[in-house]
Chains A and B, each alone.
Chain A
């Protein structure tokens, strides 16, 4: 079946570096995408979202890029901090009658070294 997948399971960076986490999706009908951060022992925390009619959206220190041509999504974190260490998930909303259903990628473990 269609799914959202992540290219890199782990990412290790130095404090202050910029981080880029990638995600590939296969459902061309998906029209809404979300990035979540999950720290150990906690639930997923909303970071930023983007709709399919946009290519880029910026938040505080984060930017999400959407390339519908190649079905690719990325999360950029500027000036990465140790507190950014967590598992990052991309999720897609397939549209139609998929109420409340998000399809999640496997997740990328981001480790930030001081």
Chain B
């Protein structure tokens, strides 16, 4: 059974550009969450989607957005990139109920220069 798949794995962007990251959840999982991981702030929750609807959102500016498709695949977008957006972006998936185990992908390493 395939795990959570994230693409691309590595990318470099210039300040002011935008970026889109993609996530395919584990088959059968309908909840997809996104996290940002940095050395200084650790792992921080961005948002969660279920059935194409955002159910929860963390404390990030509006430049960070996401969406989920009918097949549960998800994308997140960061517009007007800043140097501080350099981070590992992790996607996680689970079944729909709270308390179901959350599994993470390998992440997308974003470097903003």
Which residues of A does B touch, CB under 8 Å?
31-32, 34, 36, 42-46, 49, 51, 89, 91, 93, 95, 97-107
A100, A103, A105, A107: the one contacting B102 at CB < 8 Å is A100
B residues less than 8 Å from A103 (CB atoms)? 45
Judge whether A99 and B104 touch: CB under 8 Å: no
B50, B58, B105: the one contacting A101 at CB < 8 Å is B58
With both chains docked as a complex, state the minimum distance between the C-beta of A24 and any C-beta of chain B, in angstroms: 15
Judge whether B98 and A95 touch: CB under 8 Å: yes
B residues less than 8 Å from A31 (CB atoms)? 99
Judge whether A44 and B90 touch: CB under 8 Å: yes
The range of chain B's interface size is 20 to 34
Judge whether B56 and A98 touch: CB under 8 Å: yes
Judge whether A99 and B43 touch: CB under 8 Å: no
Judge whether A46 and B103 touch: CB under 8 Å: yes
Q: How many pairs of residues, A versus B, come closer than 8 Å at their CB atoms? A: 69
User: Contact flags (1/0) for B38-66 with A, using CB distance below 8 Å?
Assistant: 00001111011110000110100000000
The verdict on A93 contacting B99 (CB below 8 Å), with A43-B90, A100-B56 known, is: yes
B residues less than 8 Å from A107 (CB atoms)? 42
**CB-based closest 7 A-B pairs:** A100-B48, A100-B33, A43-B104, A104-B43, A99-B55, A99-B56, A101-B45
20 A-B pairs (CB sep. < 8 Å): A32-B98, A34-B102, A36-B104, A42-B106, A42-B107, A43-B106, A46-B101, A51-B99, A98-B98, A99-B48, A99-B56, A99-B98, A100-B31, A100-B33, A100-B49, A100-B92, A100-B102, A104-B43, A104-B44, A106-B42
A residues less than 8 Å from B94 (CB atoms)? 100
B4, B43, B47: the one contacting A89 at CB < 8 Å is B43
Judge whether B106 and A97 touch: CB under 8 Å: no
Please report the C-alpha to C-alpha distance between residue A105 and residue B43 in the assembled complex, in whole angstroms: 8
Please report the C-alpha to C-alpha distance between residue A69 and residue B58 in the assembled complex, in whole angstroms: 28
The verdict on A101 contacting B56 (CB below 8 Å), with A32-B99, A43-B90, A95-B98 known, is: yes
Please report the C-alpha to C-alpha distance between residue A42 and residue B105 in the assembled complex, in whole angstroms: 8
B residues less than 8 Å from A45 (CB atoms)? 104
B residues less than 8 Å from A89 (CB atoms)? 43
